[in-house]
Structure 1
Amino acid sequence: MMRHKRLEHRFVEHVPERLEPGILYVSMEYATSAHSCCCGCGEEVVVPFTPTDWKMTFDGETVSLSPSIGNWTLECRSHYVIDHGKVIEAGPWDDEQIEAERRRDRAAKARFYGQAPRHEPSVQAATPKPRPGFWRRLYDRVFTKP
């Protein structure tokens, strides 16, 4: 459960050394933002704005970041979206989903920056296939399995 349900934004030149919980610090000069993890663990979360990372939207009153913030390297492994200053908890990801996202991220950076990607399995092949729903599994078991 997210401890912080809203983040107040502050536009700053430099991110302060000590981050105040519940505040999203945005530095346009350095194209980055930082905040204390919304789960309440106190870890610093840095979000760079680049064509292949996150995008920041300011509507004159609130800030949104996209895509979601997945703190996979932190002990809390929190995952949330910041939408118009609201913190919306997103579902947890397993290790396979996290690794697939990391491969997609590396491939996107390689494409954008014109680098030859390291030999990795296809991004499409790395995406876990969704498990068939209950009714599909039941139908297969009853009607297609000997």
Structure 2
Amino acid sequence: MTRRTAVTHEFVQFVPREMKEGTVYVSIEYATAAHLCACGCGNKVVTPFTPTDWKLIFDGETISLDPSIGNWSFKCRSHYWIQRNRVEWARYWSDEQIAAGRERDRQAKKQYFEPVPPPSVSSPEPSNSDRPKEPDSIWARLRRFFRP
């Protein structure tokens, strides 16, 4: 297996069944990019564009995907960035780091997609007859005492 250091890109409507090594296929219509793993293992890598997944940056000449691509489910467990059509290799992640990264992803999705509860509706002000009676002040009691 030969690790890639660069890729090309093609804007397509549909990702082809047979993908070429070193080509990132970008479907704006389906908000997805796909490519064969940059390590050379031949596995298909799909990166959906959503607020909690990947973002595509196209500068008119090159593409970048953010965040990094961690192929933790593949035997190769490759981890890299695609930045300006270059493949930048990242360090190896332990099982604990992978689990923590997956949990962060789950929490980000939960926070983004979970409905926000509506603000609580406050109950109307109670009428004077519904309010608990406050104790009279000392002056009010004295006035009542000295009234004829």
Q: Which protein shows a greater Rg?
A: 2
What residue number does 1:25 align with?
25
- Residue-by-residue CA offset, 1:3-42 (whole Å, 9 max, x unaligned): 2111100000000001100100000000000000000001
What residue number does 1:45 align with?
45
What residue number does 1:93 align with?
93
- Residue-by-residue CA offset, 1:80-136 (whole Å, 9 max, x unaligned): 0000000011001000000001111001001100259xxxxxxxxxxxxxxxxxxxx
What residue number does 1:72 align with?
72
Any unmatched runs of 5+ in structure 2? Answer: 117-148
Report the secondary structure of 2:13's partner residue. Answer: coil
The list of structure 1 runs, each at least 4 consecutive aligned residues, that deviate by more than 4 angstroms after superposition, is none
Cα deviation, residue 2, structure 1? 5.8
Q: In the superposition, relative to structure 1, how do residues 111 and 37 fare at CA in structure 2: closer, same or farther (>3 Å)?
A: same
State the TM-score, normalizing by the size of structure 1: 0.77
Q: Structure 1 vs Structure 2: percent identity of aligned residues?
A: 56
Q: Aligned equivalents of 1:2 and 1:70: distance in 2?
A: 17
Report the secondary structure of 1:108's partner residue. Answer: helix
Q: In the superposition, relative to structure 1, how do residues 7 and 31 fare at CA in structure 2: closer, same or farther (>3 Å)?
A: same
Q: Aligned equivalents of 1:61 and 1:14: distance in 2?
A: 21
State the TM-score, normalizing by the size of structure 2: 0.76
Report the secondary structure of 1:67's partner residue. Answer: strand
What residue number does 2:9 align with?
9
- Residue-by-residue CA offset, 1:26-75 (whole Å, 9 max, x unaligned): 00000000000000001000000000000000000000000000000000
Measured on the aligned residues, the alpha-carbon RMSD in Å equals: 1.4
**What residue identity is the alignment partner of 1:43?**
N
Q: Aligned equivalents of 1:64 and 1:22: distance in 2?
A: 14
What residue number does 1:102 align with?
102
